[in-house]
Amino acid sequence: MKHAAAKNPEKAPRFWRDDALPFIEARAIADGREVCYSRHSHAHFSIGAITAGRSTYVHEQAQFEVGAGTVVLMNPGDVHACNPIDDQPWSYLMLYVETPWLADLQQQLGFSGALGFRRFSNTHLDNAHVFNELRALYAVLVDEQQDVLRKQSAAVEFFSDLQWRLNPAGQPLREPNFKLERAAGYIREHCTDLLSLDDICAAAQLSPSYLIRAFKQNYGMTPHAFLVNQRIQFARERLRSGQLIADVALEAGFADQAHFQRAFKQHLAATPGQYRG
């Protein structure tokens, strides 16, 4: 089991992870004014609870004002950001769930069949039951007195209940754009390489002008921002395995450690050292 935090636990980003539960990670922010995110996405499913104050919540092309009691949900790949309003205090907790684990749970419940992960249609909701149960799950996960079985059971119970409450079975799926998906897949596969626009266009068989315009419309960020985001996700995995920050920076494709530090903090509102612990 591992907690990662800086010397001042009241203000530092606080991460929780446990080798016995590799499918889930948690974090809590006591003062949201101390952190600021750029627009980003994750390969995993994210769900959070605003525990105090208010903030702006950007999800894809929409922007909302959310406050204490609100639960926010981000499907894998959804572009999002949450930031303070006029330096007003706010706090929150987040859970990050590996997509294959959640997709398997959906299949067990009869929701996904052969389609893999089924997206949630809700971007945020004010539901006292879900809010309280999410906070309860977080408390169980970070409690060092609870054993692995209790934590696993609590996670399955919460996400099963969430699935039944927010049943996406009838939700229309996003119409796929296969050439754009090919471009995104190429960036993911080669995110640590020195890529050019020509490389991506050639792989996807798209013109540069169409790729730039359509990619941002579809993914909510430019191909370059998407590339940086993928490099950060790559770096997270390496940091979790205990690799040196300087080595991870170079392996992830950043020019130097300073560029890596800056990009990492923009995406995770924490330094690589705070994240690794």
- Return the minimum-mean-pLDDT range out of 79-83, 124-128, 223-227: 79-83
pLDDT-based confidence at residue 169 (cuts at 50, 70, 90): low
Q: Domains of the chain by range and CATH?
A: 2-165 (2.60.120.10), 178-276 (1.10.10.60)
pLDDT-based confidence at residue 112 (cuts at 50, 70, 90): low
pLDDT in tens, 31-69: 777 776 778 888 899 999 999 998 888 888 888 888 999
CA distance 187 to 132: 39
Averaged pLDDT for residues 167-196: 79
Q: Tokens 């799950």, residue?
A: 137
pLDDT-based confidence at residue 10 (cuts at 50, 70, 90): very low
The answer to whether the CB of 171 falls within 8 A of the CB of 119 is yes
pLDDT-based confidence at residue 143 (cuts at 50, 70, 90): very high
- List the beta strands (DSSP E) in the chain: 2-4, 14-17, 24-29, 45-59, 62-67, 71-74, 80-84, 90-97, 124-125
pLDDT in tens, 201-259: 999 998 888 888 888 888 888 899 899 999 999 999 999 888 999 999 999 999 899 99
pLDDT score at 108: 79
- Nearest C-alpha neighbor of 97 from the set 108, 106, 88: 106
pLDDT score at 31: 79
The answer to whether the CB of 38 falls within 8 A of the CB of 265 is no
CA distance 63 to 106: 28
pTM for the full predicted model: 0.68
pLDDT score at 25: 95
DSSP 3-state percent helix, strand, coil across the chain (nearest 5): 45, 20, 35
